[in-house]
Amino acid sequence: MTKTAWVFPGQGSQALGMGMDLLDIPAAKDKFAQAEEILGWSVTEICQSEEEKLSHTLYTQPSLYVVESILADLLRERGHWPDLVAGHSLGEYTALYIAGVFEWSAGLYLVKRRAELMDSAIGGMMAALMNFDHEQLEKVIAQTPDVVVANDNSSAQVVISGKTEAVQAVISQVKAKRAIPLKVSGAFHSHLIAAAATEFQDILESVEFQTATIPVLSNVEPIPSIDGDILKQRLNKQMTGSVRWREISLQFPANGIQRVVEIGPGKVLTGLIKRSSPCLMLENIHSVADLPI
């Protein structure tokens, strides 16, 4: 048997029209209805026609969780199961749901509150750097207060986060092929949203985490675990901690994984994994048409 990992993308992978083909499936339609009760707004309406809202943190995160989890459930219904799961930032919540750590509705409640708190954490900025000088970046960040590496995505891509002037100072000093400011409301995955993270900690404590049925690679500590308490502790650090995706990518072959399936819109994660672990078979499931028969 080919050892397989499932991975779930985070904010930035959303796409208008995602999940619309799921409306023909009764079980998926029920999930969308449940989501509307929990959220107070319709995921399908946002994904169908409201592009501006879909790119807004408040709506992006719950929409991705709902669409990704439905696709993954359909994959399980067809007899497919992963040996390991991971998700990028928001995607870690889908991974934990698939691993049986919490119920679907509990996961959506957490994502809803996370999105609300992150959306309210205004100030600062994030920027992606492509093909940059590693030593130079480390040196400049060490010398610049209030900026951190928020996402260590691959050897060729990182995202930095912090106070606007600090992020701009790093961009101006580090040689990179491209530097792209991200369309987010705040300095996510940095100490600047510590107040939101502290408030979220109480919300997280209210949800019981079970022992995972599948090992999970967490963003802040990419070592497989099934311990519910450990997974909760790791998730608790995630909002202000760095997403260590490059290390997660390296963990797949180290744990005997031969195939990685990205479930959700876009091909961001498989693209990043290919850079770090080119030996892996990579697949993408964006829609019902991509599901194996």
153-186 residue pLDDT tens: 999 999 999 999 999 999 999 988 999 998 887 8
Which one, of 118, 9, 128, 126, lies nearest residue 56 by Cα? 118
- Which pLDDT does position 121 carry in this prediction? 83
> Of the CATH numbers 3.30.70.250, 3.40.50.2300, 1.10.150.120, 1.10.3720.10, which one belongs to the domain with range 125-181?
3.30.70.250
* Mean per-residue pLDDT, 187-203: 94
CA distance 124 to 162: 5
Q: Which sequence spans correspond to the domains of the chain? A: 4-121+190-290, 125-181
DSSP label at residue 191: G
53-98 residue pLDDT tens: 998 899 999 999 999 999 999 999 999 999 999 999 999 999 999 9
3 state DSSP class of 267: coil
* Mean per-residue pLDDT, 107-114: 97
Q: Flag whether pLDDT at 285 surpasses 80.
A: yes
**β-bridge mates for residue 127, sequence order:** 160, 181
* Mean per-residue pLDDT, 212-238: 97
CA distance 90 to 9: 7
- Residues marked active site are found at 89, 189
* Mean per-residue pLDDT, 256-270: 96
Q: Flag whether pLDDT at 1 surpasses 90.
A: no
Token reading at 238: 């995630």
- The owner of tokens 């106070």 is 163
- Which pLDDT does position 51 carry in this prediction? 81
Angle CA 105–111–115, to nearest 5: 145
Q: Flag whether pLDDT at 293 surpasses 80.
A: no
* Mean per-residue pLDDT, 129-143: 93
Chain centroid, CA 45 distance in Å: 22
> Of the CATH numbers 1.10.3210.10, 3.20.130.10, 3.40.366.10, 3.40.50.300, which one belongs to the domain with range 4-121+190-290?
3.40.366.10
Q: Flag whether pLDDT at 33 surpasses 80.
A: yes
Burial group, residue 286, by CB count within 10 angstroms (0-12, 13-18, 19+): buried
Q: Flag whether pLDDT at 241 surpasses 90.
A: yes
E strands along the chain, which residues?
4-8, 84-87, 125-132, 147-154, 157-162, 176-181, 216-217, 259-263, 281-285
Do the first three CATH levels of 4-121+190-290 and 125-181 match, i.e. the same topology? no
3-state helix, strand, coil in the chain (%, to 5): 50, 20, 35
